[in-house]
């Protein structure tokens, strides 16, 4: 509304539009694009241009849960400079997504995972310029093989969301301030399992997995597994998971 009022008086702010080469990416892959921006109706001092990788995290507040935007990675694209009035610029970028980026492309009943790229032009003594671009994040091969193997074990992916905080799993831990939880439920009515929660902590060479097993009788307990980024056999992994998780 404020920008519309300024425009009605002939005062145009800085305009920005980020164009991505492709919004479809696997975790850890490079994201390329170009930031297009145009100067305002008068010269402006730019403090910098930044790209931020954003996601929605679930936050507990008393007895309620809310989802809030959280930055999980930030890249400075430009330092301070003078933006001449009405001047048009293009700024190409090539950044690598964190290997722990939450996965959005999941076939489940309730997928609350959202990831987007936020472009921020920090303007001195003026309204900052912003642009948001949604990203489609796919699991790596190890993650997808594990999801398929769990389905072979009689489990169905029910929901996915992102929790604020740090995940610890013995010899590994998350590093981006949040972690994704995938909830699997048994397809058989007479199963001894209530649900299985799965979280990934991926690196360049392997994907660590934390399992939280909720059984109908007894306490919840945890198991961990590390999958190398090599070719994995679904059948062999399913057999190992049945033994590891007592499915």
The per-residue pLDDT for range 145-164, each reduced to its tens digit, is 999 999 999 999 999 999 99
21: pLDDT confidence band, cut at 50, 70 and 90?
Answer: very high
pLDDT > 90 fraction of the chain, expressed in percent and rounded: 77
| DSSP single-letter state for residue 179 | E
Please say if the pLDDT value at position 190 is more than 80.
no
* CA 141 from centre of chain: 17
DSSP 101: P
Closest alpha carbon to 35 in 115, 118, 104: 118
Chain position carrying tokens 């995972």 = 113
- Furthest-apart CA atoms within the chain: distance in Å: 70
DSSP 8-state assignment for residue 208: E
The model's pTM: 0.91
Dihedral angle over CA of 110, 63, 114, 213, nearest 10: -60
Q: Which helix (H) or strand (E) holds 198?
A: strand 193-202
C-beta separation of 211 from 222 below 8 A: yes
**pLDDT single digits (tens) 78-130:** 999 999 999 999 999 999 999 999 999 999 999 999 999 999 999 988 888 99
Mean pLDDT of 68-76: 97
């Amino acid at each position: 509304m404020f920008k519309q009022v300024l425009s009605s008086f002939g005062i145009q702010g800085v305009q920005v539009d980020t164009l991505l080469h492709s919004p479809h990416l696997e975790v850890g892959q490079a994201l390329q694009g170009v930031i297009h921006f145009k100067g305002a109706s008068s010269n402006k001092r730019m403090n910098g241009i930044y790209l931020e990788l954003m996601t929605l995290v679930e936050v507990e507040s008393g007895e309620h849960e809310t989802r809030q935007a959280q930055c999980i990675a930030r890249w400075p694209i430009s330092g301070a400079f003078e933006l001449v009035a009405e001047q048009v610029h293009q700024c190409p970028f090539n950044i690598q997504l964190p290997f722990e980026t939450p996965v959005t492309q999941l076939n489940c009943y309730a997928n609350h995972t959202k990831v987007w790229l936020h472009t921020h032009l920090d303007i001195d003594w003026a309204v900052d310029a912003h642009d948001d671009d949604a990203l489609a994040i796919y699991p790596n091969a190890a993650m997808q093989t594990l999801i398929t193997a769990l389905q072979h074990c009689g489990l169905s992916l029910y929901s996915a969301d992102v929790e604020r905080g740090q995940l610890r799993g013995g010899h590994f831990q998350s590093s981006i301030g949040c972690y994704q939880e995938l909830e699997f439920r048994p397809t058989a009515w007479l199963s001894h399992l209530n649900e299985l929660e799965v979280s990934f902590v991926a690196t360049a060479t392997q994907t660590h997995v934390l399992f939280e097993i909720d059984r109908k009788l007894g306490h919840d307990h945890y198991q961990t597994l590390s999958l190398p980024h090599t070719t994995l056999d679904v059948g062999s992994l399913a057999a190992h998971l049945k033994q590891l998780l007592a499915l």
